[in-house]
Structure 1
Amino acid sequence: MNKRLHCVRCLYSVFHPLGLVLDDEGVCSGCRIHEEKDTLDWGVRWKKLEDLVSPYKVESGRTYDCIVPVTGGNDSHFIVHTVKNRLGLNPLLVTYNKYFNTPLGIRNLANLRIKFNCDIVVQNVNPMAVRNITRTTLRELGSMYWPCLAGQTVFAVQTAVRYKVPLIIWGAHQGLEQVGMFSHEHEVEMTRRYRKDHDLMGKEADDLLSIFDTLSEDDVWQYRYPDDADLASVGVRGIYLGNYVRWDPKAQHEEMVRQYDYQGATFGRTFDTYDHVDCYNFMDVHDHIKYLKHGYAKVTDHACREIRHGRLTREQALALVRHHEAQPMSHLDKFCDWLGVDARALAFIFNQHRNPKVWQEIAPGEWCRQPGSDFTQGDTPRLADSGFLGFEAHALLQRDKPDAYVTVGKGYPL
């Protein structure tokens, strides 16, 4: 029987929250599915995408061909570029306001809609409701980001039903990219089930309501997924570009920097300067919680991706992970002020969700890793020896450091 717990190529373990398996050679399912990127005929797959979207084009040009969810970070510039300039579609952009916005994220979102000349619809949920839900999901799920994930994944579907635009185009499928949950050739589409099980940690909006909590109908109704009858009446479907385009976030971001002036940012907790630059919390407080719950941080996701693309060796990746994953949070004070809680109370909640397979309390308030839980232990090179200089920051997240989040903004200039 195979006793290995970690992939011999990348840094993921069999305890990955999305589910991951190792084959007889000790290579994980995520690495195996990534191999398809070098064997599939992407010209043929692009033709399949063109044929798929062709029936959705509105010949009159007087309405939208598709819905595209976007943010001020991640892959949004590349997705809109592909949809509008390569596929020739007229997209309606939609975005959910997380309220944790950075000035750079506001700027990038404005840059996106201006450079591509697209209409955009923004969902601004009552901030008091967002705070109420965040308090609940922090206590129950150990997640401060549940409202963001719920809003980002449902607003596009709600808009598709409301405007009767059936086609939604997403970027890459997280389960495919990270753990090889599917093959590219399965051409999986966005589903309510995947959203609930993985994005929302098994909790739909109505599941949060309880006689033991203060949440009400007024707090959760905007996060409800449309019912099956409404979806069927419009014919809503959500496809992933990553099934038809060879997905490489680093290369794609650098192309968007050159062509459209997308701007990145530096982080303490990862070496990637392109992802999640729109949010103060994703690569900060949220990432710290992930580290406590799962024993690894976002830098491991970035490192595994770069190993698979051949830009990092496993040893270089280990050095980067060891350097970044336990860096202190920089914006905890903003989150405490926004949520209206004391930092010590928040730390207490965090500790309630520490994974006992990973963490051991050795004294009141003092924790260490469980023996054998830290795959980064052992002889790994120092960061200075890693020789990895693959990412550049084209703007600094710290250029503006307001005392609170940027709730709304036009975005120009930074």
Structure 2
Amino acid sequence: MNYCKRCLYPENHALNIILDKDGVCSGCRVHEEKYEINWSEKESELDKILSHYKDRPGTHYDCVIPVTGVGDDFFVVDLVKNKYGLNPLLVTYNTHFSTKVGIRNLARLITELDCDHMASTVGPDTVKEITRITLKELGDMYWHVLAGTQTFPVQVATKLDIPLIIWGVNGWLDQVGMFSHHDRVEMTKKVRKEHALRCRDAESLIGTSDKVSAKDLQAFTYPSDAQLEKSRVRGLYIGNYVFWDSQKQIEEMIDRFGYETFAQERTYNTYESIACANNASVHDYIKFLKFGYAKVNDHVARDIRLKRISREQGLELIRQYLTIKPKALSQFLEWLGISEQEFYTAVDKFRDPTVWERKEFNEWELKDSALDIILSPNDQELQVNDPREYKLTEVLEEQSFDEDYILLGRTYIDEANFKAKEG
């Protein structure tokens, strides 16, 4: 296995990376654009684009912004509403895996930035059955989350005649350099299916279970081409127009709006993914079991590129978090109604043989991963010039990694009413 000599990403990355003749990956090369782009010009371009959607006659909302209540959402909503003057409608797909801190942050976002909000909650039994299907057929327990969060905003936009959806950063660009900032890639039906849904759209699940019908899959079914053509909906990535630096952005949101942070089991980043009990735990653990790398690798790669940590520090963090079996797994298994053996049987079929080797007694051995990297002084080392640590804020309510998921929680927050309660 080859690894990027700068950010330590493995060449078997699920989103595909390309290592150049110097051993540096495409994600690092595209990241270099951030230091070459005239961001003032980019922001002027964004201003011109957004002005076309502002104060349209006969409508109340200028755009749709998908949110879950994470720190990046605060940044995007604040930018769009307070800097560019648009009136957004916030929309949320309920992941069914909500945490207390996530519920509070979502309530804080709606309240502090004074926005209208719409949410979609699919029936719990339907979500569980879809999760059983996709875990078995795709080795993915998170398909419904990705499908829902990238479908509901488009459904709302087409039905309410709101032709603009504003997303944060293009993850495929930011992680592996699948695109360039100069490409101005937008969120589309094709991008969603090919890169987020493992090429399995909702229609492909029909017939996989007697418990899942076309009606049950409505929340995951993208608007038709005719609907999209009529509504002219476009999905804009803010990361194409501003220097995207999630850590700095969220720290500003902590100071301005009181965004809460929380420690996680499988990564050192306390800002992201904390709204969901499984994103950085069970979902991330499956990623490790399949490909031998995980979210901690994502965070290390980004922080190395931003010159926050050295490769030595990054490798130490990977070794600290990569192989942790999350305590949250037991809660997920109980929620889904399967055994731990059934879980591993489903995932084992999707292990990458370049990384994993099956041993005696059905045990698996990690034969090649970032844990084995030996750093060389001749590698493409970046000089650390902006060291900073992720903050842990005061937590208003106790929370553990193995608590029940919150299906519904309060969406208003003030000093007398901050606690997340099961609805």
- In the superposition, the TM-score normalised over structure 2's length comes to 0.91
Query: Does the 8 Å CA contact 2:65/2:77 hold for their aligned counterparts?
Result: yes
1:153–1:13 Cα change, 3 Å = same
Query: Does the 8 Å CA contact 2:318/2:370 hold for their aligned counterparts?
Result: no
**1:275 alignment partner, one of 272, 275, 283:** 272
**2:288 alignment partner, one of 285, 288, 291:** 291
What is residue 349 of structure 2 aligned with on the other side?
352
TM-superposed CA distance for 1:244, in Å, is 0.2
Counterpart code for 2:49:
L
In 1, Cα distance between equivalents of 2:353 and 2:63: 45
In 1, Cα distance between equivalents of 2:355 and 2:56: 56
What is residue 390 of structure 2 aligned with on the other side?
391
In 2, Cα distance between equivalents of 1:15 and 1:351: 17
In 2, Cα distance between equivalents of 1:277 and 1:212: 32
What is residue 215 of structure 1 aligned with on the other side?
212
**1:84 alignment partner, one of 69, 81, 86:** 81
What is residue 262 of structure 2 aligned with on the other side?
265
In 1, Cα distance between equivalents of 2:388 and 2:54: 43
What is residue 72 of structure 1 aligned with on the other side?
69
**1:131 alignment partner, one of 128, 133, 137:** 128
1:61–1:162 Cα change, 3 Å = closer
Query: Does the 8 Å CA contact 1:32/1:180 hold for their aligned counterparts?
Result: yes
**2:403 is aligned with 1:408:** no
Counterpart code for 1:393:
L
Query: Does the 8 Å CA contact 1:288/1:297 hold for their aligned counterparts?
Result: yes
SS of residue paired to 1:95: strand
What is residue 98 of structure 2 aligned with on the other side?
101
1:403–1:392 Cα change, 3 Å = closer
Counterpart code for 1:408:
L
Counterpart code for 1:375:
A
**1:328 alignment partner, one of 310, 319, 325:** 325
Counterpart code for 1:238:
G
What is residue 168 of structure 2 aligned with on the other side?
171
Of 24-33 and 236-245, more deviation after overlay is shown by 24-33
Query: Does the 8 Å CA contact 2:71/2:259 hold for their aligned counterparts?
Result: no
1:281–1:123 Cα change, 3 Å = same
What is residue 111 of structure 2 aligned with on the other side?
114
Counterpart code for 1:63:
H
In 1, Cα distance between equivalents of 2:272 and 2:119: 21
Q: Per-residue CA shift, 1:166-225, capped at 9, x if unaligned?
A: 000000001110111111111110011111111001100011223676532232122111
List aligned pairs for 1:171-320, cutoff 5 A: 171-210=168-207, 214-320=211-317
Identity of aligned residues (%): 43
Query: Does the 8 Å CA contact 2:133/2:208 hold for their aligned counterparts?
Result: no
Query: Does the 8 Å CA contact 1:14/1:20 hold for their aligned counterparts?
Result: yes
TM-superposed CA distance for 1:393, in Å, is 1.3
TM-superposed CA distance for 1:21, in Å, is 0.8
What is residue 12 of structure 1 aligned with on the other side?
9
In 1, Cα distance between equivalents of 2:129 and 2:203: 14
TM-superposed CA distance for 1:369, in Å, is 1.5
In 1, Cα distance between equivalents of 2:369 and 2:34: 30
In 2, Cα distance between equivalents of 1:234 and 1:355: 42
Query: Does the 8 Å CA contact 1:136/1:213 hold for their aligned counterparts?
Result: no
In 2, Cα distance between equivalents of 1:308 and 1:225: 35
Q: RMSD of the TM alignment (CA)? A: 2.1
SS of residue paired to 2:216: helix
Of 401-410 and 235-244, more deviation after overlay is shown by 401-410
Query: Does the 8 Å CA contact 2:28/2:305 hold for their aligned counterparts?
Result: yes
Query: Does the 8 Å CA contact 2:273/2:280 hold for their aligned counterparts?
Result: yes
Counterpart code for 1:153:
Q
TM-superposed CA distance for 1:60, in Å, is 5.9
Of 225-234 and 397-406, more deviation after overlay is shown by 397-406
Structure 2 portions without partners, runs of 5+: 376-383
**2:363 alignment partner, one of 345, 362, 366:** 366
Of 326-335 and 33-42, more deviation after overlay is shown by 326-335
Counterpart code for 2:399:
D
TM-superposed CA distance for 1:351, in Å, is 2.2
Q: Per-residue CA shift, 1:81-132, capped at 9, x if unaligned?
A: 1111111100000000001000000000000000000000000111111111
SS of residue paired to 1:94: strand
In 2, Cα distance between equivalents of 1:33 and 1:93: 30
Query: Does the 8 Å CA contact 1:102/1:279 hold for their aligned counterparts?
Result: yes
In 2, Cα distance between equivalents of 1:59 and 1:217: 35
TM-superposed CA distance for 1:147, in Å, is 0.3
What is residue 383 of structure 1 aligned with on the other side?
none
**2:372 alignment partner, one of 369, 372, 377:** 377
In 1, Cα distance between equivalents of 2:373 and 2:147: 39
Query: Does the 8 Å CA contact 2:126/2:211 hold for their aligned counterparts?
Result: no
In 2, Cα distance between equivalents of 1:343 and 1:5: 32
Query: Does the 8 Å CA contact 1:209/1:215 hold for their aligned counterparts?
Result: yes
Query: Does the 8 Å CA contact 1:74/1:276 hold for their aligned counterparts?
Result: no
Paired positions, count? 405
TM-superposed CA distance for 1:323, in Å, is 0.5
Q: Per-residue CA shift, 1:233-267, capped at 9, x if unaligned?
A: 11100000000000001001101000111111101
1:31–1:348 Cα change, 3 Å = same
Q: Per-residue CA shift, 1:7-32, capped at 9, x if unaligned?
A: 11011122111111112211111111
Counterpart code for 2:127:
V
Query: Does the 8 Å CA contact 2:308/2:388 hold for their aligned counterparts?
Result: no
